[in-house]
Chains A and B, each alone.
Chain A
């Protein structure tokens, strides 16, 4: 057994940390306050190769292992949840389905543009009436000659409604299966396709510098070549995509917890009350000790899940555990971090307030904590 990261994994951690501290940290507060998605920052993240992490070189990807990718997301989230979200969704939800399920033509058309970070791609799954109950999907696609006609809407779709969005993968009902359940198929719909509109959603509590879109499909006609994989593969594709997506959301919990913990520790050692640094008071020190311990546990669980995936072993149960645990660890850590900061913790300038807000999504997006518990309970035989 070996807990050491490889040399390359360690270099990736160092380099992404250096990048995040130099390029993201100085603007994170302002972008959050203005609720502004930064094209410039996204392109910079593309330049250092944060998109196309698991994609092979022939399509312009970085050919990283999953542990390396997760470390990169973790290091971004340690500084800013919004930018980590752009990268995590860009890879796990935008690029991954095209890479894993797309045909050669689709991969050649879209991946090189997405892997440079010049363009982004959304993954349209959630609908106004279909959240955890993906079976409630109402978006439909009907065949018409060589074309399909898509009607419906999607909501809360990351990277889907900004000037960098090249298109979206949209899951639609395309008929009934033999067992009477709906048949799902995913379509690749390019930005600018007639009848397709994407509207940026604003007034979010968290991830305010990440782009979130609401998508409308009004008799959108796409050629049958735009089907991702095969007709009827949509449900399976969604499940597999979400397994990978869970790891990147978990990595955001892990990195966010690390960032908030470091802020709290630094503050506690500097802030003096009753004649000594507050880190010397057990009430504060024990909170920090708990944070350090839980982050360590979360990291081990997360890396193990990634290691399973890299090793080609079943990782789905562990991915659900890692997503659930990391996001809940971050919840406890940001709570402690704000508490340790006292009144200053409530002020934007001190940074922990942003971590506190950004955390909440992690217990909701990519399968709520409740859904993760259902997934885990099924795996353990309940």
Chain B
């Protein structure tokens, strides 16, 4: 099957982020950028679907700044066949809807049976782009998949819900977003990395998609960011015997922390 995977480049989850001088964005200098982990589940699932079927293509599509090409290449190194990056400076000021418009335009001319995306990105945790792209393309959408199975002309998805699982069937083509637990993404192999060099990576700006900067401009703006409060130091519980330690711990949890 021809599968499209939407991916986003995000700061490494292990990186210590700080607030930029403008007080309303993340300082980008010195940050390490990676493929959004949820999008890695989507890439992995697409590869597995085609590996099991013994054919098909995986096209990775991203929208962002020039450095996002590295994220697309990382997906190509995992095994995707080709990449498309909507690379436009206007996208750095875009919100979820603006990005969704750019991605929808980018994939609208392609052949596909299934679109996979991460259920959310670990930077803004909005979880909007996937459903929005489905809406703009007028195709069905299922969020937060923990299993994806193709059955003829439809896709059967087990989706995580609060405290349970929903089993959803949707006709193809459809868009499914990947939740943690869908799979264990592979490491790119050395050969995969070497081969990615030769795979096509097409870059387009907004005008090539028939969009303008206004089309993707954010409808809202972040006014200010503040760091979370520093974590208070831990408290060591003292006591001579395990029983005493447990007693003192229970007392501290009840009287000081007031959690029991």
Asked if A12 and B191 make an inter-chain contact with CB atoms under 8 angstroms apart, the answer reads: no
Pick out which of these stretches binds chain B: A31-39, A57-65, A121-129, A222-230. Answer: A57-65
The B interface is mostly helix, strand or loop, or mixed, namely helix
Does A18 reach chain B (CB closer than 8 Å)? yes
Interface readout for B186-222 with A: 1 if CB under 8 Å, 0 if not?
1111111110110000000000000000000000000
CB distance from B191 to the nearest CB of A (A): 5
Number of A-B pairs, beta carbon distance below 8 Å? 47
Does B73 reach chain A (CB closer than 8 Å)? yes
Among A11, A18, A48, A64, which residue has the most Cβ atoms of chain B within 10 A? A11
Complexed CA–CA distance, A194 and B1 (Å)? 51
Asked if A64 and B190 make an inter-chain contact with CB atoms under 8 angstroms apart, the answer reads: yes
CB distance from B135 to the nearest CB of A (A): 35
Does B174 reach chain A (CB closer than 8 Å)? no
Residues of A within 8 A of B190 (CB): 12, 48-50, 53, 62, 64, 68, 72
Residues of A within 8 A of B188 (CB): 11, 15, 48
Does A47 reach chain B (CB closer than 8 Å)? yes
Do A49 and B73 contact each other (CB < 8 Å), given the known contacts A63-B194, A64-B194? no
- Nearest-CB residue, chain B, relative to A69: B190
Residues of B within 8 A of A7 (CB): 70, 73, 197
Asked if B194 and A8 make an inter-chain contact with CB atoms under 8 angstroms apart, the answer reads: yes
Do A11 and B73 contact each other (CB < 8 Å), given the known contacts A49-B192, A62-B194, A64-B194? yes
Complexed CA–CA distance, A19 and B185 (Å)? 12
User: Interface of B with A (CB < 8 Å)?
Assistant: 70, 73-74, 77, 186-194, 196-197
Can you name 10 A-B pairs with beta carbons within 8 Å? A11-B77, A11-B188, A12-B193, A15-B188, A48-B188, A49-B191, A49-B192, A53-B190, A57-B191, A62-B190
User: Interface of A with B (CB < 8 Å)?
Assistant: 7-8, 11-12, 15, 18-19, 47-50, 53, 57, 61-64, 68, 72
Given contacts A48-B189, A64-B194, 13 further A-B contacts (CB under 8 A): A7-B73, A11-B74, A11-B77, A11-B193, A15-B187, A47-B187, A47-B189, A48-B190, A49-B191, A53-B190, A62-B189, A68-B190, A72-B190
